[in-house]
Amino acid sequence: MADNQGNGGDKLIYFLIGAGIGAITALLFAPKPGSELRSDIADATKRSLDYARDTGRDLGERATEYYQTGVERAQQIGARVREDVGEFTEKVKGDVGELTERGKDLIGRQKAQFTAAIEAGKQGYREAKQADKGKISASIEES
């Protein structure tokens, strides 16, 4: 589908070629003497070359302007992206810091609960040991 869409430069060149061929053909079939005809052909050729040169210069200037505009827009977009990435990075750092603190708090609470459970187990063991000693002493005294 892209093959059917020519760019403006190609169309301009085809137009100029067609105009040149048409002008030369018209001059060749005009009833004029040879020297006058050659002079007309030379003038038409010179005008065509001048027109092509001017058009080429204009197209070059426009292309340069479009290029500069594209570069400026790309720089603006790049600056905005850098800003957005910086803001996102700061937000992520803050979120990671917050999650780290929450994790430390959770680990601290779990550690305290685990330590309390161990101490309760030790205390239960001591009490059970004491109770067993009391039972053993009582059964020795009964015997």
Locate the domains of the chain by residue range.
7-142
pLDDT-derived band at 79 (thresholds 50, 70, 90) equals: very high
CB 17 within 8 A of CB 45: no
pLDDT-derived band at 76 (thresholds 50, 70, 90) equals: very high
What is the C-alpha to C-alpha distance for residues 83 and 76, in angstroms, rounded to an integer?
11
Model confidence, pTM = 0.43
Burial class from Cβ neighbours inside 10 Å (0-12, 13-18, 19+) for residue 24 reads middle
pLDDT tens-place string over residues 112-125: 899 988 998 889 88
pLDDT tens-place string over residues 3-16: 455 577 788 888 88
For residue 6, what pLDDT is reported? Answer: 55
